[in-house]
Structure 1
Amino acid sequence: MPAERGATMFIGAQVSLYPMSSHFVDIITAGLDALRPYTDDLKIETDDMSTLMVGAPEPLLDAVRDLFAASAKRPEHVTMHVTLSRGCPGEPDDTSCRCDTLEQAQHQPLAERQDLAAQAVREAPVLGVEIDVQFSLYVMGAGNHMDEILGCIDFLKSSGTFLKSKNFCTRLRGDAGAVFETLRQAFLRFGPAEGHVTIDLTASANSPSRG
């Protein structure tokens, strides 16, 4: 059944931060402190392995972005692994996960969604933190999923954050604001609005072997 305006699903991110430093506690704490502005909008649970964030994709992706940007402002090399998921049939719908963009996307042709995604990246805030990301988009189900993935790749190549294609993933580089907006648009505008879509990503900053 197509998602209706105001309908809910489960949208969340499982996030793990890996500082390459003996000061890892301070770096992780700085990242977690950046989540404080989002505690009213997101369900946030942290344990010794990762932090789970559940909620609407606007504050969700902003929170993931700010967590990494706060850690990456230090000089140490830091990486982050994130699994993003929306519409998982194994999770109960959550009323905090409302998203108008998904409802609108199911009525828009691919070219229009690509244009809207590119515009959002152009309007992204500049955070002054240069990062690298590699990620893979997974559109679950049959049908035209390859059309959606190829359409997303075309958007990425024109996004201004595209670095190169790799086996099984795409590499992005740029300011954290633009890179995470690129990820948000890939997550929301490609794949069925009512379907299960995931992104697996690794972010890196301050790498001594950056290529």
Structure 2
Amino acid sequence: MFSGAQISLYPMADDFVSVIMAALTGLDPWREALRIETDDISTLLVGPPEVLFAAMRDLFVRAAQTGVHCVLSAAVSRGCPGEPDDPICMAQGGFARDLALPDRIAAARANVGLAAVTGQDVAAQFSLYPLGEGPHMDEIYGCIDFLKASGTFDRSKNFCTRLRGDAGPVFATLCEAFTNFGTVAGHVVLDVTVSANSPSAR
């Protein structure tokens, strides 16, 4: 199943180029497991879901650790019927999508509890879109139940859910929402915004 993300990183600094270039080194450990294509708008990451979110986490943490206000915007997709299957996207994590919804919620919560701590506090908001045929609202409500028990839930907002905490558990929460909710073979999309060091928070 094809899975990938179109990502854009926005450091709010005069020397934004140097922040972005330094942040790109966060992708180095993941390059062999990803296909990466960059243009003047965004960078495409194609690969297994657990690698996509780990790579986004490391990229964003490198940028945020400079102390400048940084925002990551991402459209993450799996199972798009317009994309061919790609062997590089084969999941390695043994995701629980074949389990009943209550068991998927429990498995997702347990996986977030195992996430490594990075030391970088972030805020995020995202929306989950299970597309195609299927019990969409059951999956969305199940995801909401998981989020409220994830340890990263901040609050519900119009059209999205807000998360807060260390970047490790926050990106793990996003990964679990992406992989465990929506039908196994269905098209699922996340619309994600992550922020760190915002002056508004102060």
* TM-score in same-fold range (> 0.5): yes
Amino acid aligned to 2:32: D
* Aligned match of 2:165: 174
- 1:207 has 2:193 as partner: no
Q: How does 1:135-150 map to 2 (within 5 A)?
A: 135-150=126-141
One-letter code aligned to 1:19: P
Gaps of 5+ in 2: none
Q: CA deviation at 1:29?
A: 0.8
For these two proteins, the number of residue pairs brought into alignment is 202
Q: Secondary structure at the match of 2:52?
A: helix
Contact kept in structure 1, 2:123 and 2:163, CA below 8 Å: yes
Is 1:90 the equivalent of 2:82? yes
What are the within-5 Å matches in structure 2 for residues 109-188 of structure 1?
Answer: 109-188=100-179
Give every structure 1 segment of 4 or more consecutive aligned residues whose post-TM-superposition deviation is greater than 6 Å: none
Q: Tell me whether 1:69 sits opposite 2:61 in the alignment.
A: yes
After TM superposition, give the deviation of residue 105 of structure 1 in Å.
1.3
CA distance in 2, matches of 1:81, 1:206: 15
Give per-residue Cα distances to partners, 1:87-109, cap 9 Å, x unaligned: 00001110111126577412x11
Instruction: Describe the SS at the equivalent of 1:209.
Output: helix
Taking structure 2 as the reference length, what is the TM-score of the superposition? 0.97
- CA–CA distance in structure 1, aligned partners of residues 158 and 30 of structure 2: 35
Gaps of 5+ in 1: 1-8
Per-residue CA deviations over 1:32-80 (Å, capped at 9, x if unaligned) read 1111111111001112211100011121110011010110101110101
Contact (CA 8 Å) 1:102, 1:193: kept in 2 or not?
A: no
Q: Indicate the SS of the match to 2:32.
A: coil
Assess, with a 3 A threshold, how the Cα gap between structure 1 residues 134 and 15 changes in structure 2: closer, same or farther: same
CA distance in 2, matches of 1:205, 1:75: 8
Which residue is 2:37 aligned to? 45
Residues 1:146 and 1:126: Cα distance change in structure 2 (over 3 Å): same
* 1:142 Cα deviation after fit: 3.1
Tell me the equivalent position of 1:18: 10
The answer for the alignment partner of 1:81 in structure 2 is 73
Asked whether 1:27 is paired with 2:19, we answer: yes
Determine helix, strand or coil for the equivalent of 1:191: coil
Distance 2:186 2:16 in 1: 38
Q: Could you state the TM-score of these two structures normalised by the residue count of structure 1?
A: 0.93
